[in-house]
Amino acid sequence: MSAITETTANTAAPRPRGGIGQSVSDSLVIAKRNLIRMTRIPEMVIFGLIQPIMFVVLFSYVFGGSMVINGSTNPQDYREFLMAGIFAQTVTFATAGAGAGIADDMHKGLIDRFRSLPMSRGAVLTGRTLADLVQTALTLVVLAIVALLVGWRTHENIGKVLGAFGLLLLLGYAFSWIGALIGLSVRTPEAATSGGLIWLFPVTFISNAFVPTATMPGWLQPVAEWNPFSATVQACRVLFGNPGVSTSDAWPMQHPVWASLLWSLVILVVFRTLAVRKYRSATA
């Protein structure tokens, strides 16, 4: 009888898995939860699409005829030059939404509920950022279709084009951990949104996203050329075969693909470590 009872108890209450296996499983569960939440609030996705589409249309048709790209004022050249910058801006601006979402979960006490469960601490943040990555990927697909409609074209093989989008998603995922850290450091979702956008504007505009860095003041050019955002934009232009190849001697502009990978991985490792540490101290 005691043996049967012991067997039943062991079956009913299996020991939790530990290590990487449990962390991955828990992260996927949290990611699924956030994706389901997104489908139930479709306006989150819709509003996230409106801004980048507006940027594509406005920059293409308002500024396209006045920009000089590789010595040409052809609007088509500027559209192809522009799209790498718009893609990169879109994936990085998702950072503000990630921070606001985490701050909202903290504000509503949802994180306290997760604390009561036998799950990996880092899985809450990893799941959230993975869900944001899926949303960002869907946004890029829609944005690419809009870009094709306004005249954007690629001139390299499909492997390089997919590699460019891979670099964009890696940059977006790395930046989402900056958003996670901001969301854990403020008290309200509104503060997380503001804090997530304030630093993004100089990062995205002091770059090669919308104008060549050669048109900037001499003292500002190195800042733009060593900007991690600029490295990804330049890498995408190279992989897309779009105009705007930099003549700068700066290493990130001469080796943009490697620079983009290195910058994104460094940002990912540093800010994931800081965010998980902040989460543990905030929920201790």
Quote the CA–CA distance of 278 and 18 in Å, as a whole number. 22
Q: Which pLDDT score, from 0 to 100, does residue 112 have? A: 64
Question: 99: closest CA among 178, 13, 173?
Answer: 178
Assign 10 a pLDDT band (cuts: 50, 70, 90). very low
Type of residue numbered 243: P
pLDDT, average across residues 128-154: 89
Which of 76-80, 210-214, 266-270 bottoms out in mean pLDDT, i.e. has the lowest?
A: 76-80
Distance (Å, whole) CA 192 – CA 176: 12
Per-residue model confidence as pLDDT tens digits over 69-81: 766 667 778 888 8
Over range 53-75, report the average pLDDT: 72
The answer, yes or no, to whether residue 109 has pLDDT greater than 90, is no
Cβ neighbours of residue 133 closer than 8 Å, sequence gap 6 or more: 169, 172, 173, 176
The number of C-alpha atoms within 13 Å of 84 and in the hemisphere containing its C-beta is 34
Q: Are 139 and 38 contacting, i.e. CB atoms less than 8 angstroms apart?
A: no
- Which carries the bigger pLDDT value, residue 284 or residue 179? 179
More confident position, 136 or 2: 136
- Find out whether 56 and 147 touch, Cβ atoms under 8 Å: yes
pLDDT at position 234 is: 95
Q: Select the more confidently predicted residue: 18 or 93.
A: 93
Question: pLDDT tens digit string along 273-282?
Answer: 999 888 877 6
**Highest mean pLDDT of the ranges 26-35, 142-151, 162-171:** 162-171
